[in-house]
Structure 1
């Protein structure tokens, strides 16, 4: 079995068309067909079946595609690691993060890092808590910011880099909006605007309300901090958000009040795959992050 056969097979499988695959590979169609035929003969199975002018994977072809892609991905990573070993200043970092960190924290740390290492490239992927852990475990990303930091997970490991307080947000005409601080149970009769299920801030707020002695009444749910802020500013309810989600980005901003009891906070961590050595450029960025949050990071 040859590397070229795997390349041709994967390209045909993705495009479902031999001629288009040959054009992308810059080789003759006959060369692609010949290599696919040899691969099928060696395996003793049919990997494709004809479907009009296109081709379609057989069930065994679908199984083989997963393995072939994994082999090619491993090879690509090996080549990348070699290049990074020779010069980590030109490597690439794949970074995951939740939406709530995308407006301020991620741009801030990446900009600071690129001042020192301007040729390093980044690929970003946003996701919710479970998908970020899966992306790291499946090697879809190298590192991920995550909140809250997982207490124990066999697939990933990491460090807490930041603990951030959550504040109550209220309509500006709310009776408590001018208070320096409030206790959370003072909002027990209010309608809450919360993140949708699956977002990590939702259980933090929910559990804080339970600790304060009440179950929050949910009036609206959203997937974005901007929407939650806007709904609260428009008088549709109250909520709790972390400080970095409260930077003024529009004319409609709610009142922000400190919560004195119970103390509500979230941890923010950086995770990586367990028991796996990081590529040099990723290790360099990881070390930078740990030092940055110890000595340089400011919330604003």
Structure 2
């Protein structure tokens, strides 16, 4: 069992940020030689830093082997906290930059294409008008993969659609999640489709049609599956599986295929591609859009301002577009602010 560590005598006076950075580089690259090359120092210098850290902490941080090095359980713990420490320092620099010029800064946003193609647009329009020097780095991650990027602090915030995994107990303990606005799932066809002329449609009538849907683990696929199951039917033939908004829109526009879209996406693309929602009700079709950030992480002021801007745009839409459906009203609000 490792001995109790005296912070003041063993760590506070001896541990340097440079040492932690060297250690993190070794863990990330899995090699002291590669870390030395990247850092522009000799391999013995890197080895000395690691040895000094292990001596100060009284535990082995790395396992050495012919294939390189890997972090021990103690090394993993130190690496995790080191990432957080360096991130807090970076946030501190961003705070200083913000205080000297509140219009600058970088915001790393993760969101699926269905949000970046619709709901995100008016938010960006307003925010960029207020902070023209701010840089928005948009990563089109899917909802299933955002958690790791938030934990690794590769993203500042994520815009995602509600449901699992956002409601998973494991994620709730790691992230702050709030509902930004409500959306809904609709069944969509092209204007050339015979179904576009129908005033009423039952989901069972669409069983023999060809569909474009996402994979089985996605919420929109599951909604359609439940709708057919309620009518005593299996899933219809899936002609194409994709999450691409543009691919679905272009193919459905031919009139030969059927798909689903969030209402916000349809409002944006309906006129451009000649799309139309079918007049049918789906079970549990409400699809809220949520903002997720890493719990206990200090956000930079510019990130906080972006989140506040997102709330303001959505709130303005609710107030100023009463009686107006969908994203068209949201875009109108953004153009006015």
After superposition, the Cα gap between the structure-2 partners of 1:57 and 1:85, relative to the gap in structure 1 and judged at 3 Å, is same
The answer to whether residue 261 in structure 2 is matched with residue 241 in structure 1 is: yes
Q: Aligned pair 1:38/2:52, yes or no? A: yes
Equivalent position to 2:90, from 61, 80, 84:
80
TM-score, normalised with respect to structure 2? 0.70
Equivalenced residues, count: 294
Aligned residue for 1:193, secondary structure, equals strand
CA-CA distance at 1:294 after TM superposition: 1.2
Correspondence for 1:222: 242
Q: Structure 2, unaligned stretches of length 5 or more?
A: 1-10, 318-326, 332-337
Q: 2:110 aligns to what SS in structure 1?
A: strand
1:56 maps onto 2:68 in alignment: yes
Distance 1:207 1:132 in 2: 26
Where does 1:123-134 land on structure 2 (aligned, <5 Å)?
A: 123-133=137-147
Q: Is the 8 A contact 1:179 1:257 kept in 2?
A: no
What CA distance in whole angstroms lies between the structure 2 residues aligned with 1:224 and 1:214? 27
In structure 2, the partner of 1:110 is 124
1:94 matched to which residue of 2?
Answer: 108
Counterpart of 2:322 in structure 1 is none
Match of 1:178 among 197, 211, 214: 197
How far off is 1:100 after superposition?
Answer: 1.5
Equivalent pair of 1:230/1:254 in contact (CA under 8 Å):
no
Q: Decide whether aligned partners of structure 1 residues 73 and 299 sit closer, same or farther in structure 2, where only a CA change above 3 A counts.
A: same
The CA RMSD measured in Å over matched residues stands at: 3.6
Please give the secondary structure, in 1, of the residue aligned with 2:182: strand
From 265, 276, 293, the equivalent of 1:272 is 293
* Greater share of helix: 2
1:37-72 deviations in whole A, cap 9, x for unaligned?
333444454735363xxx6115xx343443333232
1:194 to partner: Cα distance: 1.4
Structure with greater strand share of residues? 1
**Structure 1: runs of 5+ lacking an equivalent:** none
Q: 1:161 to 1:183 in 2, by over 3 A?
A: farther
Relative to structure 1, is the Cα distance of residues 206 and 275 closer, same or farther in structure 2, using a 3 angstrom cutoff? farther
Distance 1:232 1:291 in 2: 34
Matched, 1:26 2:40: yes
Post-superposition CA distance 1:55-110 (Å, at most 9, x none): 6115xx34344333323222222223333444433443332212222223334423
In the alignment, the residues of structure 2 paired with residue 151 and residue 47 of structure 1 have an alpha-carbon distance, to the nearest angstrom, of 36
C-alpha distance 288-235 of structure 1, shift in aligned 2 (>3 A): closer
User: Residue 69 in 1 paired to residue 79 in 2?
Assistant: yes
CA–CA separation in structure 1 for the residues paired with 2:203 and 2:234: 11
User: Does the residue aligned with 1:82 lie in a helix, a strand or coil?
Assistant: helix
- Assess, with a 3 A threshold, how the Cα gap between structure 1 residues 105 and 75 changes in structure 2: closer, same or farther: same
Determine if contact 2:181/2:288 at 8 Å carries over to the other structure: yes
Q: Which residue of 1 aligns with 2:188?
A: 169
TM-superposed CA distance for 1:20, in Å, is 4.1
CA distance in 2, matches of 1:181, 1:299: 28
